[in-house]
Amino acid sequence: MKALLPRGDAAQIGRKRRFVLEVKNNNIKTLLIMSFHSSIGDNEELFSLRNKLFSELSHFFSSAKLEGVKNCAIKLQEVLPIQSSLEQNKVLVAYGGGKDSSYMLTFVRLVQLILFKWNGETFQIRVVTNRHAGMPTSVIENIHRVYCALQLYDDPDVELLLIDGNKISLFDRYLPLPHNIVSQNRQDILMTGHRTQASSRPTFCNACNISMVNSFGIASYYDGGVDVIITGDSRKEQRAYMVWVNRLVQKISPDLLPSGHGFRDFLKNLDIISQSYFQEIYGDKANHEIEEHRIINNDINLDPLFFSIYNYTEYSAGNHWELLTKYLGFEFDELAFSFSESDCANPALMAHLRGLKCEHVYGRSYAEGIEEYVKFAISLMRQKQFPEFLIDQITQRYSTAELITLMRKKINDFAFEAFGITEEQLICMVYAPFSEKGRNLETYLLKEQPKLLSNLHNIHQVLDRGEKEKTSQQSSDIASNLYCISGLTLEQLRICYDSPLLGFNDKNAKLELVNLILERDPHKGIIETRHSPGGPTIYEMISGR
């Protein structure tokens, strides 16, 4: 689908001019963008092109679905705070680049266009994408194609942003992910994996979800803030999540007075959870790591309204397949389309870890572990109402020994390119050999690193700080070897050594945030498995996406 507005030098110059003004003077920037908006907003060409786009999009919506768009537009217009001038209202849409968020953005764009059609003016949209290292390049390319199809790049009522940690930038598909974000993502995976024996959801999702919430806060107050945050969650789901967050905070800080119900209060509560969670992962003294993961809330004076489109449309990809693939140009890449996700390759890494655990810890085959995970993940896909032909793609991807071997290579390549983590380090992680005073260390060395087994006592001494603080060659060699096989620094290894394994059903489990978070998580299930080649069938709870 070609963009309706020209993608030439004039359009790029316009975008660069706005960016330069933003850097130089925030007050001037706001005035000039509003002036730029007004001059183009009255332009007949823009009016014509927007109407053309509305007409093209409408072809993909049935009469009933268009009625939903109209009803949503009426309701949204009613709740916008500045009724006298629609163009002064701004709504926020979080866009992860997956199939559902692509449809949601399209739906909101259609609402924006229909209000323009009715009123000759419309609200502004701020679209924000929170990046992480688990997003393959194909996700950014999907975002770019969707932006082109929806004619977002050059629309004066649209703002496209990227968030990397606490840094906010104009969207640029060629902008590399900052090194500090890659490093932080890598560290979170390794440390959480070694604390939970590579439990999928904690290892890959908890830190990512906290980062996503933080991006909401950043995007909502940036450059004058927004009036409304658009969500696809129902009001019931929103209330349930707020209640869960409040209860979790009360468990963490029983003496804390209950907070209000505004967005800023929500962010403050999530910040309390974030600090406690990363203290649990990194240890009490890890002030830097805890600070890096804090959720920004002190500067937020605005309290945007949450507006749900849940009752006005349906998300099932099968119901808008042609819109998604033919008009928006959305592609289901082999890495980005990973089980129940279409914008992240980490679920394929989760499957890979299950294969590695079966192969190395349980002494079975890698393929058996993959089979267990695929069966579990397909049940999640059906719960999320994935079309059967997409489920078939996943089934086919792992259907033979040769294809499983091929995917193993692809995901190993991705893990190294995205996070700098090797298969040897992932194998180490599924044992979690260093946590809880090296509970699994001897087993790990015996099975995977027999050359280091003779150094078992010395490794314990180094990790337990048994030696006096001196730089002996032996200690240095041990630290170097352990870094190669685990990816963790000596200080991180010592934190693991001094800390318990998390997420297990022991007497302390109910006090652990990892378990408290996983307790409510719907992305888990009981599978049948065996913990040795000829062992009995047992039931094990696993999580994933």
**Average pLDDT of the chain, as a whole number:** 88
| pLDDT higher than threshold 80 for residue 389 | yes
Full-model pTM: 0.89
| pLDDT, position 236 | 84
| pLDDT, position 504 | 66
| Contact in structure between 435 and 501 (CB atoms under 8 Å) | yes
Q: What are phi and psi of 538, to 5 degrees?
A: -130, 165
Dump pLDDT digits (tens) for 314-373. 877 788 999 999 999 999 999 999 999 999 999 999 999 999 999 999 999 999 999 999
Q: CA 389, 100, 238: angle at the middle one, nearest 5?
A: 130
Give the pLDDT mean for 105-119: 97
Dump pLDDT digits (tens) for 155-178. 999 999 999 999 999 999 999 999
200 burial type by CB count under 10 A (0-12 exposed, 13-18 middle, 19+ buried): buried
Q: Which residues pair with 529 in a beta bridge?
A: 538
Helical H segments across 297-455, by residue range: 321-322, 346-356, 366-383, 388-397, 401-419, 423-431, 435-438, 441-448
Dump pLDDT digits (tens) for 463-515. 998 655 445 888 899 999 999 999 999 999 999 999 999 976 555 555 688 98
| pLDDT, position 519 | 84
Token pair listed for 539? 């039931």
Dump pLDDT digits (tens) for 516-535. 888 888 899 999 999 999 89
| pLDDT, position 264 | 86
220 burial type by CB count under 10 A (0-12 exposed, 13-18 middle, 19+ buried): buried
